[in-house]
A = this chain, B = another copy of it.
Amino acid sequence: MAEFTGLSAFPLTPFKDDAVDERAFVSLIERLADAEVDSITALGSTGSYAFLDPEERAGVARLAVEYAGTTPVFVGVGALRTSHVLANVADAERAGASGVLLAPMTYQPLTHDEVFELFRAVTERTELPVIVYDNPGTTHFSFTVDLYSRIAGLPGIASIKIPAVPADPKRAADHVAAIRAVIPEHVTIGVSGDAFAATGLNAGCDAWYSVIGGTLPDPALAITRAAQQFRADEALAESARLEPLWSLFSEFGGSLRVVAAIAEQLGLAPRRCLPLPIQGLGAADRVRVAEVVDELGLVAELGLNDEPGLHDV
């Protein structure tokens, strides 16, 4: 489906004093709509969905749709219990979402049949298109290509968000082709794992479900548009330029704390914007992030003045 292609930007859900900072969240949504991303996915892992209570999640979904204008908004609905997932789906429908994103969250390890039945329960209850969210780093559930195939055959499945593709272009293309071969044509494949997103798009992924796109939409759009227009080398070059950022993701155990630190530094989110117990980066690590932000010219690129804290969030 056309809506499930291109750049889907995953904004943070900034917290302040253990509550959602609605003003900061709305500013993030407006920035993404202004940047003309192809879609916004609210309440992804980057949006801390697993930490919010149901009322907070419904409120965030409503704000995202309200301030995204004509940009489609997808909403993360994952939860540990099936009935809680279905309640989140109903809230996403009421908010006016264009689709829902579902990760099989686990506490007890789940079987493939249990995950299949979860997706069946959701697709039977909603008319909204469903994105299968394969995020083993947080869910500790491992999909197989066979399970992609079973789930993608359910009516209502629109897209599969796959983890990082192999760095080698040939292996990446083979991996994407192997999935493509066993899912219906209308189901898109979206890559995540920002560091290899250019490789994934060049390898035939239809979409990029992007962490940095939620905070730094312009460089993410540069990569996406280049790949979509078959300027593969340009996409790879822009990704290579951002290598210092990917290195920080790798060094600091993932993208979340780094992107939060960038948003805080740029004045897009309040200090310590992640929900406790997540502390965010320490002072020394934030200096490292600030150096990379400076080195890559991200402040200028964002059209902000270079005095963080003066931005009106």
Contacts and interface: CB of A to CB of B under 8 A. Distances in A.
A301 interface: no
Interface stretch (A177-185, A190-198, A224-232, A273-281): A273-281
A51 B277 contact: no
Given A108-B45, A138-B108, A81 B276 contact: yes
A111 B80 contact: no
A299 to B, nearest CB: 26
Contact of A53 (B51, B84, B278, B279): B84
A254 B275 CA distance: 31
Interface residues of A, number: 34
A140 B256 CA distance: 18
A83 interface: yes
A115 to B, nearest CB: 7
Contacts of A104: 277
Contact of A111 (B82, B107, B111, B279): B279
Contacts of A137: 109
A118 B51 contact: no
Interface string A108-142: 11110111011001000000000000000110100
The oligomer's copy count stands at 2
Contact of A81 (B51, B111, B113, B118): B51
A263 to B, nearest CB: 16
A73 interface: no
B277 A107 contact: no
A253 interface: yes
Contact of A107 (B50, B114, B117): B50
Interface string A272-303: 00011111000000000000000000000000
Contacts of A18: 83
B254 A109 contact: yes
Nearest to A81: B51
A105 interface: yes
A108 B278 contact: yes
A111 B254 CA distance: 12
Contact of A117 (B83, B275, B279): B279
A277 B45 contact: no
A80 B113 CA distance: 26
6 contacts: A45-B107, A50-B80, A109-B254, A111-B253, A114-B279, A117-B277
Interface of A: 18, 45, 50-51, 53, 80-84, 104-105, 107-111, 113-115, 117-118, 121, 137-138, 140, 253-254, 256, 275-279
